[in-house]
A and B are shown apart, each in its own frame.
Chain A
Amino acid sequence: MAIRDIFSANRKKKQDGQEKAFPEGLMTKCPECRHIQLTKELEKHHKVCTKCGHHFKMTAQERVADFLDEGSFVSMDDHLQTSNPLNFPAYVEKINADQQKTGLNEAVLTGLGTLDGEEIVVAIMDSHFRMGSMGSVVGEKITRAVEKATALRVPFIIFTASGGARMQEGVLSLMQMAKTSVALKRHSDQGLLFISILTHPTTGGVSASFASVGDINIAEPQALIGFAGRRVIEETVREKLPNDFQTAEFLLEHGQLDAIFHRKDLRKQVAVLVKMHTKGGVQHV
């Protein structure tokens, strides 16, 4: 047995132990401060750790429930299905498994809804589905959502959460960056609002396309946001990077974000922003 195997065997034992200590789902441990709290309590606090303020990842459905007016969401384009353009072995199986796991057809949920009464089109990426990576279906769903917002003349709001491009779709996934951009340009040229809300993690091709070009770019606290991976940069520049490198706070300090909102304030603040860009705004005579 190699040394590595001993460690991984121990790790496995530890994990098994943990599962036995708490009944499934009843308690949740914060990955940051290790505080153990009632899952119900955590959910009441928008999935933010009651002790250290760590923002847990949200599923797309949880985000809908947390952000939009109750019962207002109508999803779009759930019928789009990922194909396997490069014939990667086991790709379709992996997609099917994540569909079962998440209840989504792909790594983004899109649709119409209202935010404090204002009609919007929303796209919510879900990092539980293939790390939120962007392939043809993700690009197409986001593009159609933007087009819908343009047609209805309502704001488009996206929650990003993505490791970047979908490797298994090769250059087609790269081109989704361009596809979503041409749609956003048209939306913008109509004088319509686009708010990008960057959540943990937003990296690679998603960071280098729609996530960064909102009329207003907002992030959740401590979210990892960046173009290149930390390890790649450390290898390139041969220096240790600061701990807060590529956090939302780091980006704010370097002028790359408009604001960071705590999740408990996010809905309220974004609703105010939306109203100021629609009929609630000051009318010039």
Chain B
Amino acid sequence: MSKNLAFEEPVVQLREKIDELKTIAADADVDMTGEIEKLETRLTQLEQSIYANMKPWDRVQVARHPERPTTLQYIEAMCENFIELHGDRTFGDDAAILGGIALFEGQPVTIIGHQRGKSTKENIRRNFGMPHPEGYRKALRLMKQAEKFNRPIICFIDTKGAYPGKAAEERGQSEAIARNLVEMAGLSVPVISIVIGEGGSGGALALGVANRVFMLENSTYSVISPEGAASILWRDGSLAKQAAEAMRITAPDLKELGVIDGIIPEITGGAHRNVAKQAIYIKECISDTLKALNSLNGEQLIEDRYEKFKKIGQYTEV
């Protein structure tokens, strides 16, 4: 059963009412088709108006939905023959980042993504999708491997951020992220990054120096979580809702700021309502983008990435 979010409450209530009416109609054997149809029309209108007017904070809730599809679900829905590859060859295997090789429309690709858990137990194992340095180093190892064999790289971004822990600092969290940024800049194969849930700060960007960056309609991408921003800016973490608006973290915001290349539409109500269909939307986007990028050679791909990131930022010259 889906966990419902506060802003969806009117939709949920009306849907329950319709279900109730249907049960009554069936039990009492009376014809209420007219009423039910009327209510269903109203439900469709209500859904459209509510989901078309989602506020940034509503999107944050959808992006964090416990049933929001994860990297692995999309890989399974989109690809064939996925084989997961483990470990950074230096310290360990970080389950917060997952990677491997798969066939995408017949073409071998390397896929890497942050991986959240679906249950508490899995979340503990995967550290809630918050990587340690070895996670980023595994990602880089797999990217270099992809480059050697001339495979495109697809990254799924879905993390609150890199893990802020003692061991992470000791093993060089900063260096691991920084290294990925620099090395991704020089990859001679196509790189596509897609924010599928939360894109939290440097821990997200470490999989984000791509030729094309897309966001799912209800995902977020930001320098800091709304709670963190509220706490720093107004010394009050409970003002997260206001911070979510002020910080401009939604897909349309990032498109307007020139940070991302496009928005992948979501199923009405959020990706979790129909994973299979959502995966098709993502697959179409990757397919089109790969077709365009496959025509560029290694040098052109590096140049393309350089030009893309060089442009980002706003300032005046006086």
Residues of chain A touching chain B, judged by Cβ–Cβ distance below 8 Å, are 79-83, 85-86, 88, 136-137, 139-140, 143, 165, 167, 169-179, 181-186, 188-189, 204-205, 207-213, 225-229, 232-233, 236-237, 239, 241, 245-246, 254-256
Separation of A205 and B171 alpha carbons in the complex (Å): 17
Check if B182 sits within 8 Å of A213, measured CB to CB: yes
Q: How many A-B residue pairs have CB under 8 A?
A: 181
Check if B257 sits within 8 Å of A88, measured CB to CB: no
Residues of chain B touching chain A, judged by Cβ–Cβ distance below 8 Å, are 162-166, 168-175, 177-179, 181-186, 201-202, 205, 208-209, 221-224, 229, 232-233, 246-249, 253-254, 257, 259, 305-306, 309-310, 312-318
Of B182, B185, B305, B318, the residue contacting A81 (CB under 8 A) is B318
Of A139, A178, A185, A228, the residue contacting B164 (CB under 8 A) is A228
Report chain A residues within 8 Å CB of B305: 182
Report chain B residues within 8 Å CB of A183: 306, 310
Report chain A residues within 8 Å CB of B166: 233, 237, 239, 241, 245
Check if B315 sits within 8 Å of A174, measured CB to CB: no
Separation of A237 and B232 alpha carbons in the complex (Å): 21
Separation of A252 and B182 alpha carbons in the complex (Å): 22
Separation of A185 and B257 alpha carbons in the complex (Å): 25
Check if A80 sits within 8 Å of B317, measured CB to CB: yes
Check if A213 sits within 8 Å of B315, measured CB to CB: no
Check if B309 sits within 8 Å of A211, measured CB to CB: no
Separation of A226 and B171 alpha carbons in the complex (Å): 11
Beyond the given pairs A86-B246, A171-B249, 15 more chain A to chain B contacts, judged by CB atoms under 8 angstroms and listed by A's residue number, are A79-B317, A139-B313, A170-B223, A175-B309, A179-B312, A181-B209, A182-B306, A212-B175, A212-B179, A213-B182, A226-B169, A228-B164, A228-B169, A236-B163, A256-B172
Shortest Cβ gap from B248 to chain A (Å): 5
Report chain B residues within 8 Å CB of A245: 166, 169
Check if A178 sits within 8 Å of B314, measured CB to CB: no
Of A207, A227, A237, chain B has the most CB atoms within 10 Å of the CB of A227
Shortest Cβ gap from A128 to chain B (Å): 19
Of B171, B181, B224, B315, chain A has the most CB atoms within 10 Å of the CB of B315
Separation of A232 and B233 alpha carbons in the complex (Å): 16
Check if A254 sits within 8 Å of B172, measured CB to CB: yes
Shortest Cβ gap from B242 to chain A (Å): 12
Of B162, B178, B209, B233, the residue contacting A182 (CB under 8 A) is B209
Shortest Cβ gap from B181 to chain A (Å): 4
Check if A210 sits within 8 Å of B178, measured CB to CB: yes
Report chain A residues within 8 Å CB of B202: 174, 177, 204-205, 208-209, 227
Check if B223 sits within 8 Å of A165, measured CB to CB: yes
Check if B223 sits within 8 Å of A182, measured CB to CB: no
| 17 A-B pairs in the complex with CB atoms less than 8 angstroms apart | A82-B315, A136-B315, A143-B310, A167-B224, A167-B233, A171-B247, A173-B223, A174-B205, A178-B209, A179-B313, A188-B182, A205-B201, A208-B178, A210-B178, A212-B179, A233-B166, A236-B164
